A and B are shown apart, each in its own frame.
Chain A
Amino acid sequence: MTKKLIPIREASGLLNVSIDTLRRWDESGKLIAVRTGKGGHRYYRQEDIDQYFSNIFSLAKSWAFSSTPTEPEDTYYCQISSVFQARLATMENTLRQFGTSGDISPLITAITGEIGNNSFDHNLGNWPDISGIFFGYDPTKRMVVLADRGRGILETLKKVRPELENHNMALEVAFTEIVSGRAPEARGNGLKFVKQVVTQNPISLIYQTGDAKLELGEDAPEIIIQQSEDSFHGCLALIRF
C-alpha cells in the first residue's frame, strides 16, 4: 500500500511555515521532501512531519546554533516577553490538563518562567541578531525546551564578575553563587532557584551556554559542567520531568 504523501501547501499549513521555507529546508536537508510527478513537485511523508514535531529539542538547538540567524517558526517563537508570559500561562493549563502531578506542575512552570525571563532580562536591547526566544513543550513526552540567540551567560555576568574567564566558570557562578553586586540593575537569582527546584524534585535539566554544558537532576544534585564540542552565543535548556 502506498503511504499518503502530503502536498507542500498542506505541509506548510501543518508546520506553520511558508512554502518558501519548506523549499529551503528541503535544499538544506532540514526536512527533505519527496519529488514525484512530471514537474517534480515536493510532497512530504506523514512520518517525516511527525518526526519533525517530535523533536522540539533538535529544532531549538539547530535554530540557536545556526550560523545564519533566522526567526524560529511562529509555533515556538516568543519575540517579546509578553508573548512568552501568555504562552507560559497556556503551558501551565496544559500541564494541569495532562494530569501532571499537582506539586510538579507549578514548579515546572516556575523554572520555565525563570529561564525564559532570564533570556529577556539579560538581553533586552542587546540581542546580537534575533530578538526573543524559542519556547516549546511536549506534555506527553514531559519536556520543555527554551533557547535564545542572546549574549550568553558569560558576557552578561562579566559586568558584575569581570574576573570570569570562560563559559564554564560563568555557568557555575550563575547556578551556584548569589551575585550580590547585582549592579547596574536588580538581577535575580533565577538559575539558583532552578537548581534548587531541579535537585529537590523528579526533574532533570540540561543547560548550555557558549561551549559549557551543565547537567542537573534529582539523581545528580551536584553541578556537572562539561566542555561541549559545539559552541554558540546564546543559551539552550531542556527540562524533563
Chain B
Amino acid sequence: MKIELKKFGTTLTSRQLGKEAFAAFLPTLNSIPKREEIEVDFEGVTTFTPSWGDEFLTPLINNYKNKVLLKNTSNSSVKATIELLENVGSMKFQIKS
C-alpha cells in the first residue's frame, strides 16, 4: 500500500499532529495484511521534522519493520530527519530510489 504524506499536510512538524495523523491512519493500516509492503511517499512534503516523524514513522517501523519503504526523500528536511531518527533509534530506513 502507498501512503502519500502530503495528504496529511505539506508542513509536517509537530508531534501532536504526527500523532493525530497516525491515529487517523491506523484503521486503514489495520485492514491490510501484515506481509504487504508499505510505501511512504514524501512527494509534495515541503518541511518534515523528527517530532512528526517519530509519531508516524517510528510506530510504522515498529509494526511493519522491513516492509516499510520510504520514497521521494530528496527534500533537505526529510533527509535530515531520516538521519536523526536512524541515529536515535539505531535503525536503518529502507529508501526506494
| B77 touches which of A85, A109, A120, A190 (Cβ 8 Å) | A109
- Nearest-neighbor residue (CB-CB) of B76 within chain A: A103
Asked if A92 and B11 make an inter-chain contact with CB atoms under 8 angstroms apart, the answer reads yes
Interface flags, A156-191, vs B, CB<8A=1, else 0: 000000000000000000000010000000101110
Asked if A107 and B80 make an inter-chain contact with CB atoms under 8 angstroms apart, the answer reads yes
Shortest distance from the beta carbon of B44 to any chain A beta carbon, whole Å: 12
CB-CB under 8 A from B77, the residues of chain A are: 106-107, 109-110
- Nearest-neighbor residue (CB-CB) of A113 within chain B: B13
Asked if B55 and A110 make an inter-chain contact with CB atoms under 8 angstroms apart, the answer reads no
| B15 touches which of A88, A89, A121, A192 (Cβ 8 Å) | A121
Interface residues of A in 185-221 (CB under 8 A from B): 186, 188-190, 192-193, 196-197, 200
CB-CB under 8 A from A178, the residues of chain B are: 87-88
Interface of chain B, main secondary structure: helix
Does B43 touch A at the CB level, under 8 Å? no
Asked if A114 and B55 make an inter-chain contact with CB atoms under 8 angstroms apart, the answer reads no
Interface residues of B in 42-86 (CB under 8 A from A): 46-51, 54-55, 75-78, 80-81, 83-84
| A106 touches which of B50, B75, B88 (Cβ 8 Å) | B75
Does A104 touch B at the CB level, under 8 Å? yes
CB-CB under 8 A from A120, the residues of chain B are: 14
Q: Which of A121, A192, A193 has the most CB of B within 10 A?
A: A193
Asked if A196 and B11 make an inter-chain contact with CB atoms under 8 angstroms apart, the answer reads no
Interface residues of A in 96-140 (CB under 8 A from B): 102-104, 106-107, 109-110, 113-114, 117, 120-121
Chain B, interface residues (CB within 8 Å), range = 20 to 34
CB-CB under 8 A from A197, the residues of chain B are: 80
CB-CB under 8 A from B13, the residues of chain A are: 85, 88, 109-110, 113-114, 117
- Check A106/B54 contact, CB under 8 A, given A85-B11, A89-B11, A193-B81: no
Shortest distance from the beta carbon of B20 to any chain A beta carbon, whole Å: 12
Bound-state Cα–Cα, A106 to B47, Å? 5
| A88 touches which of B11, B48, B75 (Cβ 8 Å) | B11
Interface residues of B in 1-48 (CB under 8 A from A): 10-11, 13-17, 46-48
| Given A89-B10, A109-B11; 8 other pairs, CB 8 A cutoff | A85-B11, A88-B11, A104-B76, A106-B75, A109-B46, A113-B51, A114-B50, A189-B84
Interface residues of A (CB under 8 A from B): 81, 85, 88-89, 92, 102-104, 106-107, 109-110, 113-114, 117, 120-121, 178, 186, 188-190, 192-193, 196-197, 200
